[in-house]
Structure 1
Amino acid sequence: MNEQPTVPEVFAPAQLGPITLRNRTIKAATFEGMTKGALVTDDLIEFHRRHAAGGVGMTTVAYCAVAPEGRTERNQIWMRPEALPGLRRLTEAVHTEGAMVSAQIGHAGPVANARSNGLAALAPSGSISPLSLRRTRAATRADIERITRAHADAALLAIEAGFDAVEIHMGHNYFTSAFLSPRINKRQDEYGGSLANRAKVALGVARAVREAAGDRIAILAKLNMDDGVPGGLWLDESLQVAQWLERDGGVDALELTAGSSLLNPMYLFRGEAPVQEFAATFPQPQRLGIRLIGGKFIRAYPYQEAFLLESARQFRAALKMPLVLLGGITERATMDRAMAEGFQFVAMARALLREPDLINRIQKEPATRSLCIHCNKCMPTIYTGTHCVLA
């Protein structure tokens, strides 16, 4: 008789590449809005220390741009020597609480705010950005080579700062994700057209990070399963990219995500669309414009527990590498379901903003229910310090 595979215990230690997490829960990357001057602040350190104390196996610092023009706004961290002392203090604080810590590294590409950064946003093809209302610049081959090297350099800086892992951002139509998207990538050169061409940037970045970091640090990639927009990246092509990433051995795990920060951000989050709250963070006349037509961009999608699971199952069936299930993970039953279906880790974001100690509480009482109501009013707080407005 064939023995059934053992279902992992979500709160038991787990191997992720060269590191061991105390459990299989990960605080997903959520831009914290606590990096004034593009550097670590005491508030940022306390934010991640609190999540570490709350019981997660690993917390993820978001977002660590690999180049100054790769920020979605000018106060985001970009990985450079000046950031090193603060990053070291952050990793030490997290380690003191017994958790691991990951740096989400990437380049925002067309999602970058050129108006805020004072630098042109780079994209596969030039177009008018709906975020900054400025024209993006088509990345040259030299830009692609520079940004690929910058990912490797960022990983080395993360190692020097004491991080246990890096998460390469390949989702939400950031730089590598934008190249993958046939909706955004209209190039006619070796980086456009076929999926093999469109995937060259993502695969090249993963290889560069692995070559630089080796096995000194765990390497994850946050990969879009689909963009959530007509003509964008869809499951069949994303699955092929995932298989190529697995073949190359550049990453130790994939965290599966969806949606486009450029064209359809709420496709990832699900739940209510906080249009009026977003509008209130902008000056006039942008405020009025968002109130009038913001609903066409910030569209609401019904929330349900584990809302990305159905798509993620296709990746689980086709891949052998570890996968991180993201999207609507708030209960012990959902975590156990993910483990039973072959996912090695679960990632949580909004529920932990509401209750940073939720993991500890679920460990003590498995029937604990999250207090998050998926109103998404935490999202506009990224401009003033990310938090749950109901906490």
Structure 2
Amino acid sequence: MTDRAIPDVLSPGRIGPLKLRNRTIKAATFEGRSDGALVTDALIDFHRAVAAGGVGMTTVAYCAVAPEGRTQYDQIWMRPAAVPGLRRLTDAVHAEGAAVSAQLGHAGPVANPRSNRMAALGPSRRFNQLGGRLTRAATEDDVERISRAHGTAAELAVESGFDAVEVHLGHNYFASSFLSPRINKRMDAYGGSLHNRAKVARAAGRAVRDAVGDRIAILAKFNMDDGVGGGFWLDEALQVARWIEADGTVDALELTVGSSLLNPMYLFKGRAPIRDFAAALPQPQRLGVRMLGHRFLREYPYRDAYLLEEARQFRAALDLPLILLGGITGRESMDLAMAEGFQFVAMARALLREPDFVNRVREESAARSLCVHCNKCMPTNFSGTRCVLA
């Protein structure tokens, strides 16, 4: 440790041009409240409640940069028709004193082609178990189009009143799938070496920076590792993070792990709610999840601040502001993050359980989330993401 001053998590913090009232961020979690791929009153109420509950910034997830980049049909995709609703949402959050970010990205092989009625795109052709169809290998034209679409989406975010955008470079979504040697089998300029595999992620950041400059803050959600054999791992992730920092395209990184395509519970830790997932699905998917779900939804022990050990290595290697995610459950884990040199903390499940949790942390020095990490909130994203115990 150095002699630097350790900030209070409830003190103001800065990400690029954006000053936040405190150092807590509502992490992006698909809300399941965007019927017709547009903002609804329910989505506005969801983020208004978190803003009123004290966070410095809330994150709207998931705003796809292209229609085929949605993980399912009703997700918002960034187009002029979405702007009026997004403006109502940002106005509502600002009225509560918080900032608001739009998570931008392309789901790539995680997209559901059956729901979207459009082919899912990835670095290489592979079977997409999410929609029961083959993922199509993206052409160079597709890659360039999707990179440009990130810039267009960021411009629309500015028009909609967002204070920040978060570029999704994790969870084996489009950019992250190119980083993964397990998924990316290409032999062209986007495959093989780490330099080539990193081009898509870096291009997305460059397109956003070129589009918005310093008008809003630019964050990126970045995988430290995929949690699968032969996937993107820590040593390569550190190098790509250094390249992104040198590019000057982002103002902060939110560090994450896992693959929505191959190992989703690696991010969440705790119990795998297989029966609840099955109950939320129609047949025959319901039967398939009940019989084989344990192969996909593996269980990992939960502990507070469970990504800290890996994240420390990024803190040592980078000067960029970093956001610690994963098991931030109270003042103790928040203070630990600040002491370890992270500038911000991000929470998801704790705020589903208690949207006003940050206000409670302000009032109670020993406040701890009521979340029990049952993960039964995860299957509710089919019907409106929520804590089933609240």
Normalised by the length of structure 1, the TM-score is 0.99
Look up the match of 1:348: 347
What amino acid sits opposite 1:298 in the alignment? L
Equivalent in the alignment of 2:310: 311
1:170-249 matches, cutoff 5 A:
170-249=169-248
For 1:323 and 1:370, the matched residues in 2 are separated by 22
Q: Partner amino acid for 2:370?
A: L
- How many correspondences in the alignment? 390
SS in structure 2 at match of 1:104? strand
Q: Hey, what does 2:8 align to over in structure 1?
A: 9
1:101 partner SS: strand
1:9 positional shift: 1.1
Deviations 1:159-215 (A, max 9, x none): 000000000000000000000000000000000000000000001110110011100
Give the match for residue 141 of structure 1.
140
Tell me how far apart the structure 2 counterparts of residues 247 and 299 of structure 1 sit (CA, whole Å). 36
Residue-by-residue CA offset, 1:289-323 (whole Å, 9 max, x unaligned) = 11001011011111000000000000000000100
For structure 1, list consecutive stretches of 5 or more residues without a partner in the other structure: none
Partner amino acid, structure 1, of 2:348: A
Work out the CA distance in 1 between the residues paired with 2:282 and 2:51.
36
5 Å matches for 1:1-391? 4-391=3-390
Give the Cα separation in 2 of the matches to 1:56 and 1:284. Answer: 40
Sequence identity percentage: 72
2:387 alignment partner AA: C
Compute the displacement of 1:3 (Å). Answer: 7.7
Question: What 5-or-longer segments of structure 2 have no aligned partner?
Answer: none
Q: Deviations over 1:134-172 (max 9, x none)?
A: 000000000001000000000000000000000000000
> Match for 2:101: what amino acid?
S
SS of alignment partner, residue 133 of structure 2:
coil
Alpha-carbon separation, structure 2, partners of 1:387 and 1:321:
33
Mapped partners of 1:240, 1:3: distance in 2:
24
CA distance in 2, matches of 1:341, 1:287: 43
Q: CA-to-partner distance for each residue in 1:22-74, whole Å, 9 max, x for gaps?
A: 00000000000000000000000000000000000000000000000000000
Distance 2:168 2:202 in 1: 12
Aligned equivalents of 1:221, 1:384: Cα separation in 2: 27
Aligned partner letter, 2:81: E
Q: Deviations over 1:96-141 (max 9, x none)?
A: 0000000000000000000000000000000001211100000000
What amino acid is aligned across from residue 97 of structure 1 in structure 2? E
Instruction: Determine the C-alpha separation between the residues in 2 that align with 1:257 and 1:390.
Output: 26
Q: Which amino acid aligns with 1:176?
A: A
Q: One-letter code of the match for 2:265?
A: M
Matched residue type, 1:224: N
Using the alignment, how far apart are the partners of 2:25 and 2:283 within structure 1? 38
Match for 1:350: what amino acid?
Answer: R
**What root-mean-square deviation, in Å, do the aligned CA atoms of Structure 1 and Structure 2 show?**
0.8
Partner Cα distance (1:29, 1:249) in 2: 23
Secondary structure class of the residue paired with 1:136: strand
Q: What do the CA deviations read for 1:265-300 (whole angstroms, capped 9, x no partner)?
A: 000000100001001111111111110010110111
Other structure's SS at 1:320 match: coil
Aligned partner of residue 193 in structure 1, secondary structure: coil
Equivalent position SS for 2:115: helix
Whichever residue aligns with residue 346 of structure 1, its letter is: V
TM-score by length of 2: 0.99
CA–CA distance in structure 2, aligned partners of residues 234 and 14 of structure 1? 30
